[in-house]
Amino acid sequence: MKILVLSDSHGDAQTACLAVEKEQPHMIFFLGDGWRDSDLIIERFPDTPLFRVPGNCDYFQSQKNAPEQLVALEGFRILLCHGHTYGVKQGLWEAEETAKREHLDAFLFGHTHSPLFRRHGKTLYLNPGSIGMSIPPTYGVLNAERGKPLNGRIYRLK
């Protein structure tokens, strides 16, 4: 299963939609700071399931929606969050503690606008960077197949 991971569109739904068109994913994870943009993605690609969490700039949505979501998919435990509640700009210590405690296969976050893809222990840490504020815009792709290791990478949208 191919999963597109987006974050931090900050009003640039057009670029986020370009990434969806390019990748043709089975599913989309949106990690915040562009809730309205994710609404437009849902409208434009209604047959592609989209899971999302609010970011620190999605003020009204963060009042109504949980700051994180645990997704069980193809035998993997994947945590979606924006990252601000874990202090990711200061480091991944809290993320790593949560990953251990919750037996996570992946910890996905945004907030920093800096792409990151690394494995620590059994957990994959992925920050897709910013699809709307980086030059070039960046996004992540995860490949989740039962019985195989969870893998993926970061891409630049040209």
> Tell me, what CATH number does 120's domain have?
3.60.21.10
Q: What is the pLDDT along the chain (158 residues), one digit of tens a residue?
A: 999 999 999 999 999 999 999 999 999 999 999 999 999 999 999 999 999 999 999 989 988 999 999 999 999 999 999 999 999 999 999 999 999 999 999 999 999 999 999 999 999 999 999 999 889 999 999 999 999 999 999 999 98
Domain with 32 in it: 2-156
pTM of the complete model beyond 0.85:
yes
3-state helix, strand, coil in the chain (%, to 5): 25, 30, 45
What would the two tokens of residue 19 be? 């990434």
Residue 43 DSSP symbol: H
Contacts with 72 (C-beta within 8 Å, 6 or more apart), sequence order:
78
Counted domains in the chain: 1
Helix (H) or strand (E) holding 73: strand 68-73
| Residue 32 dihedral angles phi and psi, to the nearest 5° | 100, 170
